[in-house]
Structure 1
């Protein structure tokens, strides 16, 4: 089954006793041990503030960890700098809740920005992308059903269309990993379905590892190969989808205070 590591298979991503404490003393992550294989569709669930975004953003070093080690594709990423850090981020597509597009730029220009990591600074600044990459942008937009929007401005699109442009942009990176941080939080149910289906197709057709933060338990159960749960920065649940139960998921969403009270009474 996809998501289960064999003895010979190395994880694509491995958290080894990873902790993160913010400057104000808030614990973002607490001693996380987690292995994620290539090609898995992993969904992270938990209450707001549980550490979902923090965990995700340590993978591409948007957040630094305080202790432990984080291995991506066989390499510790904790101390990467300069071109090595750029190489890491080039292999990891990021999809944000608020789309993170340049609203006044064309859809084409937004999608092509996914190739910036493959160009020198002056070429990318001037928009001097190759003919091959311009064709790749067309194909990426067609893949998410927006081929006819190539020359539209990003701010002329609906929220769902903007998110699908963001998915096309991530695909342009030729990523091994796509991180999607609450990608459907501001979308209506119909558009949510389209966005989740787009992510699942990239996962299945290109064997891209997709990691998604979701609040919707029903969507998590429909799309995930595996679900992990965080509570108060701790990993409290980790099961393949065929072992996930409704009772388990309900327990993940219990506030930390209630869990501690229950443990104290036990």
Structure 2
């Protein structure tokens, strides 16, 4: 078990992303993320935080380098191999990405689609076990009473908690959350971040969150990675992160929480 724990679950090796217009999104990034970490990535808008997250699950193809997920290259994976690696990576978006006219239960069940042939998901032929799994995921984020509501009947915070339940039903090893609280009020923000922290601590899932708020990063993260202009300019434990180091990440432009 010690060897497994010591092996990083995510390895970025000299990762560079250059967009077709020549913009450098990521520049020669080397990073290891270990099993069970709660990592917060901070930096100004446009620094490369979202590009980094989307490169990890290959929503963006990188220009150079390699990304390993639990020892397998997602960069080089194709077809079924790529789908299998992606099953281990759950994604939470700022915009929730729910099917607005569908029920909460149906939305959470979409976390299971990678385990079914297409015709079964088209006709909602999910197993009883997966429906129970979806309900338990909703219980974990205090949304079980909304199971039959339509997604567009929910508040923004409730929709984000449904999207967390959807990821839980997927049963991934890794959760990537791209600005998950950017559009939420402070009270709802705290609830969503607390849910993610509990999932990390109780289920052992590795969580990587992009945030604007330094205060939230310090409150919930165990490790902070600072990105500026596509480069990692800071990487260290939250407990050892100083205000001066935060200022360096933002190049003197510390954003208000």
Q: Same fold (TM over 0.5)?
A: yes
Q: Given the two structures, how large is their TM-score scaled by the length of structure 2?
A: 0.95
Q: Is the 8 A contact 2:167 2:175 kept in 1?
A: yes
Deviations 1:40-94 (A, max 9, x none): 0000000011000011111111001100111110111112111111111111100
Q: Is the 8 A contact 2:5 2:34 kept in 1?
A: no
Q: Distance in 2 between matches of 1:246 and 1:223?
A: 17
Which runs of no fewer than 5 residues in structure 2 stay unpaired?
none
Q: Distance in 2 between matches of 1:41 and 1:152?
A: 31
Of 128, 141, 146 in structure 1, the residue corresponding to residue 143 of structure 2 is 146
Match of 1:204 in 2: 201
Higher deviation after alignment, 245-254 or 14-23: 245-254
Q: Is the 8 A contact 2:5 2:35 kept in 1?
A: no
Deviation >3 Å, runs of 4+:
5-8
Deviations 1:145-193 (A, max 9, x none): 0110000000000000000000000001110000000000000000001
Of 50, 53, 56 in structure 2, the residue corresponding to residue 56 of structure 1 is 53
Match of 2:133 in 1: 136
Which runs of no fewer than 5 residues in structure 1 stay unpaired?
257-266
Of 107, 119, 123 in structure 2, the residue corresponding to residue 122 of structure 1 is 119
Higher deviation after alignment, 194-203 or 7-16: 7-16
Match of 1:253 in 2: 250
Matching of residues 90-109 of structure 1 within 5 Å: 90-109=87-106
Alignment RMSD, CA only? 1.5
Inter-CA distance 148–81: structure 2 relative to 1 (3 Å threshold) = same
Match of 1:173 in 2: 170
Q: Is the 8 A contact 2:18 2:26 kept in 1?
A: yes
Q: Given the two structures, how large is their TM-score scaled by the length of structure 1?
A: 0.92
Q: Distance in 2 between matches of 1:196 and 1:174?
A: 19
Displacement after TM superposition at 1:255 (Å): 7.1
Deviations 1:4-51 (A, max 9, x none): x98981111011111000001000000001000010000000001100
